[in-house]
Amino acid sequence: MVERLTMTVEEVGEALGVSRPKAYELASRADFPVINVGKRKVVPIDAFRRWMDAQTEAPALAGAGGQRRQA
């Protein structure tokens, strides 16, 4: 049996507990790991996990500007 390497954007939404439109909005971000395969978008599972880790490791980032907070 072949190990699955990618997931759909819909599956990403299910995994995150967000709506389908929100998942596609997330997939359109420049920092989100997505591969366009024809008209389909697929997300490499390992890259998605690394992206998730990076999001949880950056709690000191402030807002959309990404400026670090000064202590």
Give the model confidence (pLDDT) of 4-63 as tens digits: 999 999 999 999 999 999 999 999 999 999 999 999 999 999 999 999 999 887 665 555
Which residue range forms the structural domain that includes residue 53? 6-59
Total of domains in the chain = 1
The answer to whether residue 70 is domain-embedded is: no
pLDDT for 71 equals 44
Domain annotation covers residue 37: yes
Look at residue 69 and tell me whether its pLDDT is greater than 80.
Answer: no
Question: Does the residue 68 lie in any domain?
Answer: no
Confidence at residue 53, expressed as pLDDT on a 0 to 100 scale: 92
Question: Cβ distance 31 to 51 under 8 Å?
Answer: yes
Does 1 map to a domain?
Answer: no
Distance of CA 15 to CAs 9, 30, 47, Å?
10, 20, 14
Q: What is the pTM of this model?
A: 0.74
Q: What is the C-alpha to C-alpha distance for residues 33 and 50, in angstroms, rounded to an integer? A: 9
| 3-class SS of residue 67 | strand
Q: Is residue 55 a part of any domain in this protein?
A: yes
pLDDT for position 56 = 83
